[in-house]
Amino acid sequence: MSVALLIVDDSGFSRKAMLKSLPEAWDVDITQASNGEEALEALRNGLGEVVLLDLTMPVLDGFGVLEGIRDEGLTAKVVVVSADIQPKARLRVISLGALAFLQKPFNKESLAATLAECGVYSEN
């Protein structure tokens, strides 16, 4: 059964890069969102079991999405993928319920490692 994967990033390029870096064998149903509002809307419609979430976005940022998920009682496994690498950002997203923080720039290997680490997907 395919996993509903939601990719959230304001950069079209970044979303493309993410798509190209996904583990090939992963059976996913992909939805894309370009800001936090779109992301929450998609989540409300059940399109995000797993979320790959950018932090720096217009309209509503990644922190806002995590807060929205918490406040609305939505369920999602969130992996934050961001260039905002300050230690406090990492702590903050974890405390808001994210499972892991993947630093940008990422590649296939680091993405796969992070997904495995937090039990979202592993290749074996």
Partner 1 sequence: MKIEPLNEEENEILQEVINIGMGQAGASLAKLLDVFVNLSVPRVSWVNDDDFVVKVGELVAGSGASWAGVRQAFYNQLEGEAFAIYGANGCQQLSGLMGYDESEGMAQEELLLDITNILIGACLMGVAKQIGKQLDFAAPTLVGIDKPIKELLYSRDREWDQCLLIEVNFCLEEGDFSCHLVMLMSEASIGQLRSGLIKFMESY
Q: How far is the CB of 68 from partner 1 (least distance, A)?
A: 18
Q: How far is the CB of 45 from partner 1 (least distance, A)?
A: 25
Instruction: For residue 37, state whether it binds partner 1 (rule: CB under 8 A).
Output: no
Measured from the Cβ of residue 59, the count of other Cβ atoms closer than 10 Å reads 12
Instruction: For residue 20, state whether it binds partner 1 (rule: CB under 8 A).
Output: yes
Strands (E), the chain: 3-8, 28-33, 50-53, 77-82, 100-103
Instruction: For residue 16, state whether it binds partner 1 (rule: CB under 8 A).
Output: yes
Instruction: For residue 14, state whether it binds partner 1 (rule: CB under 8 A).
Output: yes
- Residues 97 and 79: their CA atoms lie apart, in Å, by 10
Instruction: For residue 110, state whether it binds partner 1 (rule: CB under 8 A).
Output: no
Q: Which residues contact 94 (CB under 8 A, 6 or more apart)?
A: 101
- Residues 115 and 79: their CA atoms lie apart, in Å, by 8
Instruction: For residue 84, state whether it binds partner 1 (rule: CB under 8 A).
Output: yes
Cβ proximity to partner 1: between 57 and 120 the closer is: 57
The answer to whether the peptide bond before residue 58 is cis (omega within 30 degrees of 0) is: no
Footprint on this chain of partner 1 (rule: CB under 8 A): 10-14, 16-17, 20-21, 55-58, 82-89, 92, 104-105, 107
